[in-house]
Amino acid sequence: MLPTGTPAPDFELHSTPDQLLKLSELRNKKVILAFYPADWSPVCDDQMTLYNEMGKYFAKHNAQLIGISVDSKWCHLAFSEDHKFHFPLLADFEPKGEVAKLYGVFNEKTGECQRALYVIDEEGIIRWSYLSPVGINPGADGILNALEELDNVKSTN
């Protein structure tokens, strides 16, 4: 994984079948990148559903959540609509896992993203990261703690 203090590599991926989202477009917001193995899998389903429910708490910290996996834009569309997600799922589909590789979280053996989290500050710098054990939902506590810490650092400067 990329170390904290590193500028987050910019990328552009499909957020819907006909729309692209570029990370640098989100400057002036904190960004939570949630890499996950696959749509429709039990742990990923629970993790993304939890994050959807946490949306108002992330918003209080001026943070935008983004889910990323190697599933296609069409698979993401169906998964997102079925679960009524209020955040974008980005398709790191072709070339497969290119963005996950940039962030050091692509599993060559399985061909999927690892379950990894990054919190990026408003200037595009990685401020927190976490790699979850396989099959474990990392929850939201670490994300919230990182966001609160960023807000506290900002308020003391």
Q: Quote the CA–CA distance of 57 and 27 in Å, as a whole number.
A: 19
Phi, psi of 63 (to 5 degrees): -120, 140
Q: How many CA atoms lie within 13 A of 152 on its CB side?
A: 6
DSSP string, 15-27: EETTEEEEGGGGT
44 as an active site residue: the answer is: yes
Of 8, 13, 23, 44, catalytic: 44
Cβ within 8 Å of residue 82, ≥6 positions away: none
User: Distance (Å, rounded) from C-alpha 99 to C-alpha 113?
Assistant: 9
Known catalytic residues are 44
